[in-house]
Amino acid sequence: MSLAISKRLEGKTILITGASSGIGRSTAFEFARTAPKNLKLILTARRVDKLHQIAADIQKEVGDGVQVLPVQLDVSKPDEVREFVGKLPEEFKDIDVLVNNAGLSRGVARAPEIAEEDMNIMFDTNVTGLINMTQAILPIMLRRNNGEGAGDIINLGSIAGREPYVGGSIYCATKAAVKSFTESLRKELISTRIRVIEIDPGQVETEFSIVRYYGDKNKADAVYAGVTPLTPDDIAEIIVFAAGRKENVVIADLLVFPNHQASATIMHRRPT
Ligand SMILES: NC(=O)c1ccc[n+]([C@@H]2O[C@H](COP(=O)([O-])OP(=O)(O)OC[C@H]3O[C@@H](n4cnc5c(N)ncnc54)[C@H](OP(=O)(O)O)[C@@H]3O)[C@@H](O)[C@H]2O)c1
- Distance from the CA of 208 to the center of ligand 1, in angstroms? 6
**b/e string for 146-157 if b means 16 or more Cβ within 10 A?**
eeebebbbbbbb
Which residue type does 38 have? N
User: Which sequence positions are flagged as catalytic?
Assistant: 171, 175
pTM score, two decimals?
A: 0.98
CATH number given to 3-256: 3.40.50.720
Nearest residue (by CA) to ligand 1, atom 44, is: 103
- Residues 23-82: pLDDT tens digits? 999 999 999 999 999 999 999 999 999 999 999 999 999 999 999 999 999 999 999 999
pLDDT, tens only, 135-156: 999 999 999 999 899 999 999 9
Pocket test for ligand 1, best of 29, 52, 75, 156 (most atoms within 8 A of CB): 156
Q: How far is the CA of 102 from the centre of ligand 1 (A)?
A: 5
Q: Using CA positions, which residue lies closest to atom 7 of ligand 1?
A: 158
Identity of the residue numbered 4 = A
